[in-house]
Amino acid sequence: MNFFLIRTAYSILLTVFSPILLVSLLKRKEGKPSVGKRWSEYFGGTPSLKGHKPIWIHTVSVGETIAATPLIRAIKEEYPQQDILITTTTTTGAEQASKLDDIAEHRYMPVDFSWCVKRFLKVTKPKCMLIMETELWPNTLTAVSKAEIPVAVINARLSERSCLRYQKFQSVFNLISQSLDMVLCQHNDDAERFTRLGLLSSKTAVAGSLKFDISISESVETEGKVLRKQLGTDRPVWIAASTHEGEDEIIYKAHQQLLKTIPDALLIMVPRHPERFSTVAKLGGELGLYVVSRTDKSEVTTDVQVYLGDTMGEMLTLISASDICFMAGSLIGDKVGGHNMLEPAALGKPILNGPSFFNFKDITQQLIEEKALTICESDKEISDNLIRLFKDPSSCSEMGQNAFQVVERNQGAVARTIDALESIVSAK
C-alpha cells in the first residue's frame, strides 16, 4: 500500500471523526478556559506573528508544556535573537503557554488536514519544528517536510505497547518516519523501539528526560509555606495529585480509613481535569467528608478534612504544602498509565503510586529501587502506608530525600537536547 493511499484513507477517517474532536476542543466546560474567538486557529486561520522564522515547538497540553518550559527558556538564553512559537492543542495547554509570553508567542495547533497545516505554515514560516514527546500527525508531518522544514521529536518516548501497536500498522509508521529528521529519546529502551520499527539509527539519539530538569522556584517554596500555614502546620497533610474518574472514591475511602487512626489528617484533593472539580467536591460531601475548595477562600479550620485544589497551574505549590504525595492516574487499570512523579520527587516528598505506571516505567522503577516510592494496590494499602509514614517522620524524610536524589542524578537533558539540536536550530 503506497503512501498516497495511506494518507487518503487516513484523511477520510479524520474527516469522519474530526467533528467529535472539535466538539471536545471547542465545547465550554466548567473550570476549563475557553477558545473564544480563536477557534479559527484550529483550521489554520493563524494571526500573523510578531517574530520572524520562529522555532516552532508543539507541546499539546499542560503536562508537555510544563516539561518543555526549561528547554524553551534555555533555547532563548542560548539564542536570544531567535523567535519562538509554541502550539498547543488544548486550551489548558494554551493557558500554561501564556506563562512564557515574555519569550514566545502561542497559537493553537491546526487540525491534521493538509489544507489547515498549509495555511498555518504560510503565515508562521517556521525554521524548524520540535515536537514534544510523540505527537505524530501524518498530514502535518508530510506538509512540514514538503515545505523543507526540519522536524525533530524531543523528549521522545515509545512504550512497548505503543511499539507493538505501530507494528500492526507498519505502513503508517513508515509514512510518519520518513518526515522525521531527528528523534531525541528519553531512554535507551525508547531508542531501541524506534529503530526496531525501522527508523534509521542515525536519526535517533538518547538525551534523557527533560522532565528530570525540573527546577523549583523560590516562589513555589514560599507559596507552599504560606499555604501550609493556612492548612495547619502541625497537622499531617497528604495530596492526591491528578485524580481521574474512578479514582476519587478510592482516595476518599483511603482518607476515611486514615482519619480513624489520625483524626486531624488533611487530604489535598486535585482532580486532573478542571471540569471535574465540582463533581469531586460533591462526592466528598456525599461520603460524609468536610470539603473546602481553594477558590472558596474559606478558612481551613481543624474540622476540614479535604482541601480541594480547584485551580490550574498550582500543582507544585499544593505538593510543596503537603507531607506525602500520592500520584494518581495509576489506580484505574491501563486507562491512563500514571502521571509524572518527578514534581513531588524534586520537592523531596515521599511518593505513593498505584499499580499502573506504564507511561513512566523507567522513572518509577528508579524511584522504587531507591526506596523513594511505594506501590499501593488498594485504598487500604494507601491508608496503611500513610499511617506508617506519618507515624515515622524519619522514614518519611528519608524517603523524600531519596526521591530528590533520583531527580538530581538524572538531570542534564536540557543541555544534551540543545547540543543535539544545534544543526537545526542555528541554521539560517
The residues assigned a catalytic role are 64
CA distance readout (Å), 375 to 252, 351, 416: 18, 9, 32
The whole-angstrom separation of Cα 71 and Cα 339 is 20
Taking a C-beta distance cutoff of 8 angstroms, is the pair 136, 176 a contact? yes
Cell 495509576 -> residue = 330
Helix then strand count (H, E) for the chain reads 17, 14
**In the chain, what's the furthest Cα-to-Cα distance?**
67
Cell numbers of 412, please?
A: 542534564
Give every strand in the sheet of 55-60, ordered side by side: 105-108, 84-88, 55-60, 128-132, 151-156, 182-185, 204-206
The whole-angstrom separation of Cα 31 and Cα 64 is 20
Whether the CA torsion 319, 322, 324, 329 is positive or negative: it is: negative
Buried residues in 203-213 as b, exposed as e (16+ CB within 10 A): bbbbbbbbbbb
The whole-angstrom separation of Cα 172 and Cα 104 is 33
The whole-angstrom separation of Cα 383 and Cα 308 is 19
Residue of 140, 100, 107 lying closest to 123 (CA atoms): 107
CA distance readout (Å), 398 to 5, 327, 340: 58, 19, 21
Taking a C-beta distance cutoff of 8 angstroms, is the pair 211, 367 a contact? no
